[in-house]
Amino acid sequence: MIANTFETVSNEDVTTWFKAAHLSKFPKNGGACIKYKDKQIAVFNFEREGTWYACQNLCPHKMEMVLSRGMIGEENGEAKIACPLHKNTFSLKTGENLNGSLDAIATYPVKIEDDFVYVGFVD
Amino acid sequence: MKTIVVVGNGMVGYKFCEKFVAQPESALYKVIVFGEEPRVAYDRVHLSSYFENQDAKALELAPRSWYETHNIDLICNEYVSDIDRDSKSVETASGSNYTYDTLILATGSSPFVPPISGVEKKGVFVYRTIEDLEDMLAFAKALKTQKNNPKAAILGGGLLGLEAGKAVMDMGLEPHVVEFAPKLMPRQLDKRSSNVLQLTLENIGIHIHTAKATNKIIGEGQITGMDFGEDDSLEVDMLVISAGIRPRDELAKRCDLNVGIRGGVVVNEKMQTSDPNIYAIGEVALYNQMIYGLVAPGYEMAEVAVNQILHKNDVVMKSSIDMSTKLKLIGVDVASFGEPYMPADKGLSIIYENKTKGVYKRINVSHDGKTLLGGIMVGDAEDYGILHQMYINNMPLPDNAEELIVGSRGEGGGSAFGSVIDLPDEAVICSCEAITKGQVCCSVIDDGNETVKEVAKATKAGTGCGGCKPMITDLVKESLKTLGKTVKERICEHFNYSRQELFDIVKTKKVTSYNNLLDLVGEGNGCEVCKPVVASIFASIYNETANRQETIQDSNDRYLANIQRNGTYSVVPRVAGGEITPKQLIAMGRIAQKYDLYTKITGGQRIDMFGAKLHELPLIWEELIEEGFETGQAYGKSLRTVKSCVGSTWCRYGMDESVSFAIEIENRYKGIRSPHKFKGGVSGCIRECAEARGKDFGFIAVEGGWNVYVGGNGGANPKHALLIAEKVDKETAIKYVDRFIMFYIKTAQPLQRTAPWLDKLEGGITYLQNVIINDSLGIVDELDKEMQALVDSYKCEWKEAVETPEIRERYTHFINSDEEDENIEFVSLRDQKMPKEWA
Ligand code: SRM
Ligand SMILES: Cc1cc2nc3c(=O)[nH]c(=O)nc-3n(C[C@H](O)[C@H](O)[C@H](O)COP(=O)(O)OP(=O)(O)OC[C@H]3O[C@@H](n4cnc5c(N)ncnc54)[C@H](O)[C@@H]3O)c2cc1C
Ligand code: SF4
Ligand code: FES
């Protein structure tokens, strides 16, 4: 199953920092999708919060590659992403589905170096 | 430590666990639950919603982790096969044994399958579990590929049967309900209300066959029809049996507990069976010689059993159990409470019937006119909540009891009941969870909960069937008022303002960016609720397109296209008034063919091209714009289409040129953003072929001018638009609608269409007429100016997008690769294509 190809990576476990793109390519307070090997990863520049987030682009509701096109926001101080298809929301910190009991999404660490955006993976 | 074994992890078995672990004494017990079904307990009452989303998780009453957190051993997929009362142990189908101190039977019931020859044939189903539904869905899907217009019958026209009828209709099968009795819902409805219901259901496409005794199910291996004897039969390809329930008392019988003659485990008012260590609750329990096929009594039984086990012996079952019900069939309200029909020696009935509207209401009142004994409502059950409350709380009736159903309602006058706040504190508002009015009010007044959501979370009120939500909303509002707090229509946690207030703030403070507004009057960092609201306000005030602040737009607006179920997009150029030249048709055809798009004529008189990938959108639009097309804003909360009939240009009855008018008005309002989408219609005469009265605004040509209508819509809750002016000339007609739309844009709540807005507008249509025709607020000049400014500043946002390199750059699936999304797959369909099914 395609959902199994995504697994949360924590900062400590990163073995590869993938140089995704220059930060000017990413919309402010919105998302864009990057490709790493066969993975689609949604990356968000939550400028208001001053944080970058990354998660799987796949929405676990209907298994479509769409999360990068959703809207970001926060709920009780926690950053979240709302899927553009049916507005299910997921925490960008823990990946947890906030408005229901869908499976959690995988999240990935992001770092910025010399104006480039890097996403962390375990290979 | 003592052990409680619960057999059955259905709705009531789960409720027992929930109520049990909520008691502090429960720490002294070990709870083990067995469920025969492969999954954790789910909301059977809303089983039909599984058709819509196939989302089993959404139906779960609690996730598996809940059982772990509360130290309950849940063993699913395990049938308890025997009970040994001497050694106090149970045996499971897989051969394990478990001892208990107390045993709870919550085995529920199974659908009753009458002994008709042929019920074992392929294509015959029952309707009780998610697995039943999955089997039905798979079968229906296969049927649809094999033949045109397949038919499905439901055996049984009761509450569940009608719901199943709607379900098979939603599956795309032609539904037939077959009932043995001469009327539908024989247990809840009288003959007249049943007739009204039958008519309404037939109107929405459900075929009804009453007084039919099914003799035989016909077919070789697979069902092909039903035989009613005497050369009467019905051809069907599928059958769902919904002929009542039978308690699952097989275990109880096997260990010689007392059971009723027609089944059910006999219990006393403590929910104890003939063995005091064994309790039975829910649909398996026979209490007062009755099986109660509803959740609310089951939940009460669970409450009693919990208290009895924990030695709180004074909590026992009431002797009379309320069986009032409200059907949740979409589109038709049906409710009955108390004694729905009743012999004349007990009381009198007041009946109101309106066949044209499909409404029937009946209340039964005691001879002295003081108490409500019961009633029936079909077609309009809005007042069910409060009437039901009057009934169960034995509240005094008003002097003119008929006002309860015909109402002193309508303009100005309040309803005959006063308000929910007048109910006694003990009145049970949410019967599923047994929450009283007092508890709801306390939760607001003492515990500081301020919204229905918060109250639901704190008390569980409204989390069952949801039928009591309107009453809870009123109670929360009224309780807040007593605290001196006004109820704010707050947009979300980031803006403590209504849309109207925010609109004024943006306008007077001249705010132009979302971030500034948030810094100025908001809190935190925003969310998917407030962002599009603010975007819509900017658009209405400055007529700025969705391209400028793209990340605060709803996804469709952000990409100027409607996202489809597989992540591709649709393209809808404007075809004002539905008029299109052969040349434009050819151009559209050519472009659709080039990009391999699925094309369809929409319900809004234009052409939709589906299946465009994100990166193709600017390419397609570039070509369309070259051919003279503009965006149709099918993605926006904005003007959609103005539907026209051909009018006096060709039609022999036409009184005026409806097409010309429709094109003019569609071009006038195109691009204007609003709280929700809005649509128009122009008909050339009162035959109304353009369905103008089904739109947010409509014009109908009559002798001597145009009639102007506002506030209609189709959709889930159809409303006819109301007349605001008669026989006016075109200019006047446009002026009134200009003002109407502008007033709506400024004052409506987010995602509120014109009809519900008008409904909530105090004073209704008369007030609106005063504002926009008689200028009672002195604002029409301003409204006129604002509208003209919007009209004058229109630009096609797709033209803007394809001509601006930075905007075009947004249309790529990956920002670090030119590859396409390989996850998108199409299959072919009638010489075109469609997305591959969701897995
Ligand atoms: C394409 C179309 C169906 C078709 O194939 O004919 C359609 C498709 C959708 N409709 Fe519709 N509606 C379409 C005509 C209608 C009509 C008929 C009409 O306009 O005369 C109605 C009933 C009239 C009305 O609106 O009052 C209609 C009532 C709705 C509603 C219910 C609105 C309501 O107030 O109850 C929704 C849901 C909503 O907007 O919240 C909806 C929502 C939708 C959405 C946007 C659902 C969604 O979010 O994806 C669909 C998007 C289609 C797309 O991607 O292009 N659609 N929809 C029609 C496009 C018309 C057009 O040319 O723009
Ligand atoms: C489609 C549908 C719509 C409905 N709509 C409404 C409504 O609108 N309002 C309303 O009040 N009610 C409604 N009901 C009825 C409501 O669902 C039931 O009243 C309620 O589910 C009864 O709960 P229960 O726990 O007694 O039985 P169930 O929910 O049936 O649970 C019993 C469970 O026990 C399991 N079981 C049985 N025997 C064993 C065994 N020996 N070992 C292990 N497990 C066993 C069964 O598999 C089942 O999972 C509806 C029912 C259906 C099917
Ligand atoms: S097009 Fe309209 S009616 Fe049809 S499925 Fe979509 S929203 Fe529902
Ligand atoms: S596909 Fe994401 S919410 Fe439905």
pLDDT in tens, B163-173: 899 889 888 89
What amino acid is encoded at B605 in this protein? Q
pLDDT, mean of residues B278-287:
97
Q: B713 φ, ψ to 5°?
A: -160, 165
CA angle B303, B304, B309 (to 5 degrees): 105
Q: Which helix (H) or strand (E) holds B300?
A: helix B295-309
- Report CB contact under 8 Å: A27, B551: yes
Query: Quick check: B52 contacting A, CB < 8 Å?
Result: no
User: pLDDT tens, B363-408?
Assistant: 888 888 888 888 998 888 878 888 888 888 888 787 777 777 775 4
Instruction: Give the ligand at the shortest distance from the Cα of B559.
Output: 1
Q: Using one digit for the tens of pLDDT, what is the confidence trace for B74-84?
A: 999 999 999 99
pLDDT of residue B419: 64
- Residue B474's pLDDT is 82
Tell me, what's the pLDDT at B407?
Answer: 55
- Residues in chain B with CB shorter than 8 Å from the CB of A32 are 815
pLDDT value at residue B804: 92
Tell me whether domains B2-109+247-309 and B124-243 share a fold: yes
**Whole-angstrom distance, CA of residue B437 vs CA of residue B429:** 6
Distances (CA, A) of B305 to B35, B250, B273, B432: 19, 21, 11, 16
Task: Find tokens 């001249």 and name the residue.
Answer: B510
Fold entry, domain B421-486: Arc Repressor Mutant, subunit A (1.10.10)
Alpha helices, DSSP H only, in B107-154?
130-146
User: Hey, is A69 helix, strand or coil?
Assistant: helix
Under 8 Å CB-to-CB from B662, ≥6 apart: which residues? B576, B577, B578, B579, B642, B643, B644, B680, B681, B682, B690
Total number of residues shown for chain B: 839
CB pairs under 8 A between A and B: 107
Compare A3 and B303 and report the one with higher pLDDT: B303
pLDDT value of position B408: 44
As a whole number, mean pLDDT of residues B749-762 equals 88
Nearest ligand to residue A61 Cα: 4
Q: Quote the minimal CA–CA distance from B333 to chain A in Å.
A: 27
Say whether A40 sits in a helix, a strand or coil: strand
- For chain B, what are the domain ranges? 2-109+247-309, 124-243, 324-418, 421-486, 636-808
> What value does the mean pLDDT take over residues B117-144?
93
pLDDT confidence tier of residue B838, bands split at 50, 70 and 90: low
Give the CATH superfamily of B124-243. Answer: FAD/NAD(P)-binding domain (3.50.50.60)
What integer pLDDT is reported at residue B205 of this predicted model? Answer: 87
Tell me which residue has tokens 């151009």.
Answer: B587
Task: Average the pLDDT over each of B6-10, B396-400, B702-706 and give the range with the smallest value.
Answer: B396-400
> Residue B464's pLDDT band (boundaries 50, 70, 90)?
confident
Sort out which chain B residues have CB atoms less than 8 A from A65's CB and list them.
567, 821, 823-824
What confidence score (pLDDT) does residue B310 get?
A: 94
Q: How many angstroms is it from B256 CA to the middle of ligand 3?
A: 55
- DSSP letter for A25, please: G
Please tell me the distance from the alpha carbon of residue B452 to that of residue B429, in angstroms, as a whole number: 13
Q: Look over chain B and give the mean of its residue pLDDT values, rounded to a whole number.
A: 90
Task: Round to whole Å and give the CA distance between B443 and B435.
Answer: 11
Nearest CA to ligand 2 atom 1: B47
Assigned token pair, B798? 């797709």
B525 inside 8 A of chain A by CB: yes
User: Which CATH code, of 3.20.20.80, 3.90.470.10, 3.40.50.2300, 3.30.413.10, is assigned to B636-808?
Assistant: 3.30.413.10
Average pLDDT of span B91-99: 95
Local confidence band at B417 (pLDDT 50, 70, 90 cut-offs): low
- pLDDT at position B302 over 90: yes
The ligand placed nearest to the CA atom of residue B292 is 2
Q: Which pLDDT score, from 0 to 100, does residue B278 have?
A: 97
Q: Give the range of the structural domain holding residue A51, as residue numbers without chain letter.
A: 2-121
CB B674 within 8 A of CB B751: no
For residue B459, what pLDDT band results from cuts at 50, 70 and 90? confident
| Upper half-sphere CA count for residue B116 (Cβ side, 13 Å) | 23
CATH code assigned at A89: 2.102.10.10
Identity of the amino acid at A81: I
Q: Answer whether B388 contacts ligand 1 (Cβ < 6 A).
A: no
State the DSSP string of B147-192.
SSS-EEEEE--SHHHHHHHHHHHHTT-EEEEE-SSSSSSTTT--HH
Residues of A in contact with B525 (CB under 8 A): 46, 48-49, 73-74, 79
Q: How far, in Å, is the centroid of ligand 1 from the Cα of B677?
A: 9
Q: Which CATH number fits domain B2-109+247-309: 3.50.50.60, 3.40.718.10, 3.20.20.70, 3.40.50.720?
A: 3.50.50.60
Tens digits of residue pLDDT in B504-560: 999 888 899 999 999 999 999 999 999 999 999 999 899 889 998 999 999 899 999
Q: Name the pLDDT band for B488 (thresholds 50, 70, 90).
A: low
What pLDDT, on the 0 to 100 scale, is given for residue B435?
87
- Write out chain B residues lying below 8 Å of A48, CB-based: 515, 518, 525-526
**Distance from the CA of B82 to the center of ligand 2, in angstroms?**
20
Residue B54's pLDDT band, with cuts at 50, 70 and 90, is confident
- Put simply, whether B426 touches A (Cβ < 8 Å) is no
> pLDDT (tens digit, 9 = 90+) per residue, B615-665?
999 999 999 999 999 999 999 999 999 999 999 999 999 999 999 999 999
**What is residue A21's predicted lDDT score, i.e. its pLDDT?**
93
pLDDT-derived band at B412 (thresholds 50, 70, 90) equals: very low
Q: For B551-595, write each residue's pLDDT tens digit.
A: 999 989 999 999 998 899 999 999 999 999 999 999 999 999 999
The answer to whether B386 touches B363, Cβ cutoff 8 Å, is: no
Structure tokens at B377: 């409502």
Rounded distance from Cα B643 to ligand 3 centre (Å)? 18
Domain at B324-418, CATH class: alpha beta
pLDDT of residue B486: 65
The Cβ of residue B792 has, within 10 Å, a number of other Cβ atoms equal to 8
Per-position DSSP letters for B205-257, written without gaps between them: T-EEE-S----EEESSSB--EEE-STT-EEE-SEEEE-S-EEE--HHHHHTT-
| Phi, psi of A95, deg, nearest 5 | 85, -5
- Separation of alpha carbons B603 and B70, rounded Å: 52
Going residue by residue through chain A, which has 123 residues, state the pLDDT in tens, using 9 for 90 and above: 677 789 899 888 899 999 999 999 999 999 999 999 989 999 999 999 999 999 999 999 888 999 999 999 999 889 999 999 988 999 999 999 988 778 899 999 999 999 999 999 998
Of B26 and B397, which is predicted with more confidence? B26
If DSSP codes are grouped into helix, strand and coil, which group holds residue B49? helix
Query: What is the C-alpha radius of gyration for chain B, rounded to an integer number of angstroms?
Result: 30
Q: pLDDT digits over B226-242, tens only? A: 999 888 999 999 999 99
User: How far is CA B505 from each of CA A98, B524, B739, B747, rounded to the nearest angstrom?
Assistant: 31, 18, 21, 13
Indicate the residue of B525, B532, B558 with minimum beta-carbon distance to A48.
Answer: B525
